[in-house]
Structure 1
């Protein structure tokens, strides 16, 4: 680990000022991902800016939205009454992630910013476009059992050769992508608000960048808009072992139902793309229809038409389809 300067700002403005003039500066809170990257030599910040003393831990319902500070712990968010009652999909996703010990350290902001767990990214001896742009992707023709099946662009497996096959690791981000979420950030030019769908990036250009944050910008909160999905939402995570494992495939489903029919639907997938993959057509396909396994199977098969398997992960296409059907059935309350 290379030497670095450790700083503890007293205000948000001071933190931003410390980071704005140094592209190698990094904010640190729980450090559950960043410290690992530093130990392996993947991240070598010149400054570590400790933001734990900033007033960013509050969880509250404001007007028409749930606002969660970036320093709120994952464990606290998952059990907070306003989250459990208003946004249970988020609580389910958080409880599916990591371990109890890690949830007690990890923050909402850190969860948003965590980096892929791709083994090629973590191995400095192997090529990785995310770690070193232009060096190639080790997963191309390598061991790619856990890698993406949805891409943007053209090239190997439907993705450009200068890009990245890794998947996004967060469970929380899948749930936030399924519902209407805004990421609130502060930077040298003041506050701005970014829709969740635009916050994380696909990998066809500059795969080394995971988000659309600008230099020195600090995530201060997320806001989840009120919705009518609380009674019919479900987060399903399929993994190799029952705990402390990243998703092979995950599905976040949120339905609004009345009179035995679906009137609004949201669905996002994890473990299948460089960022949580939102299935935008689902609302049109389900609106006004009575839930059934046959209907959900048609929806899943329609979505999987755009999936492209790599040599080692063809199983994910069937697995994702089945997981979508299972999650939709659970959310709809049918057996």
Structure 2
């Protein structure tokens, strides 16, 4: 590993100022992704700015009835928080499906959003990779691409975003808050990740030198679920996942949120499927039609066409489960199940 300097930030303004003065530095949260990339030679920051001691580790209700989650909240604390378990069960399920307890104890919310792809060509510095070295090519297109993207990719990059948590946050319409030397700002998660296009090395819309400070969730949908498919029973990255929330009244879909994971360079909000479902009967036929409408835009490669069928079946299964559980919302307007399952 290349030698680096280390500083511990005392406050948010100080952390931002340190990075502003040293553009070659990187913020260090849990380090569960960054340190691995440093060991592999993919990342080589000149300085690490430790932000774990900043006062960004709280979870609390917003005035609008939502939830604000600090950027340094660990994944373990997020998954176990009573309000998250009760009101945002898909988020708890996604975090618990994402990694072992040891990793969840270290990984942070902000770091999870910024984790980089696990594509083997990206992490192998002996191979070309447009995400790591712009203009060098994407060998995955013709090479190993079983877990590559089927939606929103380009010939410049077919890597997928690895976050489980991000898929649930996408379905919940999360908003990311950040701080720069010029002041505070925020981005809807739907705008946070940039399309691949011909610049796959530009992954987020965060301004240069920005520090993520919080993630805010609006009031919870009625019911939600996260379902992940992986190639082995132990912890592994998804080959496909679905985060869904569904409200059904009198057998008709009144509201729906749907997001896919492991199929694009970012958590994929399935807005075409949502539009098909609103006002439609809450049955398997409608769920299949919605999935087909969303996946009509898929462009699989030779070795990953299975993902289209997998996502279709997963969509139908998760929405059917939610529809079978449908009942009127309680007086607070959210799911009355009591906790995540």
Bin of the TM-score, shorter chain as denominator length: over 0.9
Decide whether the 8 Å contact of 2:253 with 2:280 is kept in 1: yes
Please identify runs of 4+ aligned residues in structure 1 that moved more than 4 A: none
The aligned counterpart of 2:97 is 96
- Matched position secondary structure for 2:141: coil
Decide whether the 8 Å contact of 1:74 with 1:104 is kept in 2: yes
Query: Equivalent of 1:179, from 145, 149, 172?
Result: 172
The C-alpha deviation readout for 1:183-224, integer Å capped at 9, x for no partner, is: 000001110010000111221132112211122110000000
Aligned equivalents of 1:191, 1:221: Cα separation in 2: 11
The aligned counterpart of 1:205 is 198
Q: 1:293-332 residue pairs with structure 2 within 5 A?
A: 293-332=284-323
Q: 1:8-157 residue pairs with structure 2 within 5 A?
A: 8-64=8-64, 65-151=66-152
Q: What's the CA shift for 1:279?
A: 1.0
TM, length-normalised to structure 2: 0.92
Decide whether the 8 Å contact of 2:238 with 2:261 is kept in 1: yes
Decide whether the 8 Å contact of 1:265 with 1:282 is kept in 2: no
Q: 1:249-288 residue pairs with structure 2 within 5 A?
A: 249-288=240-279
Q: 1:157-196 residue pairs with structure 2 within 5 A?
A: 159=154, 161=155, 163-196=156-189
The C-alpha deviation readout for 1:124-167, integer Å capped at 9, x for no partner, is: 11110001110000101101000000125xxxxxx2x3x21100
TM, length-normalised to structure 1: 0.94
Give ranges in structure 1 of 5+ residues lacking alignment.
153-158
Decide whether the 8 Å contact of 2:177 with 2:185 is kept in 1: yes
Q: What's the CA shift for 1:228?
A: 2.8
Q: What's the CA shift for 1:325?
A: 0.9
Q: What's the CA shift for 1:334?
A: 6.7
The aligned counterpart of 2:333 is none
- Matched position secondary structure for 1:281: helix
Note the aligned Cα RMSD (angstroms). Answer: 1.4
- Matched position secondary structure for 2:293: helix
Decide whether the 8 Å contact of 2:33 with 2:116 is kept in 1: yes
- Matched position secondary structure for 1:132: coil
Aligned equivalents of 2:44, 2:175: Cα separation in 1: 30
- Matched position secondary structure for 1:183: strand
Q: What's the CA shift for 1:269?
A: 0.5
Q: What's the CA shift for 1:234?
A: 1.0
Decide whether the 8 Å contact of 1:21 with 1:216 is kept in 2: no
The aligned counterpart of 1:224 is 217
Would you say how many aligned residue pairs link Structure 1 and Structure 2?
325
Determine if the alignment matches structure 1 residue 290 to structure 2 residue 281: yes
The aligned counterpart of 2:228 is 237
Aligned equivalents of 2:17, 2:320: Cα separation in 1: 49
Give ranges in structure 2 of 5+ residues lacking alignment.
327-341
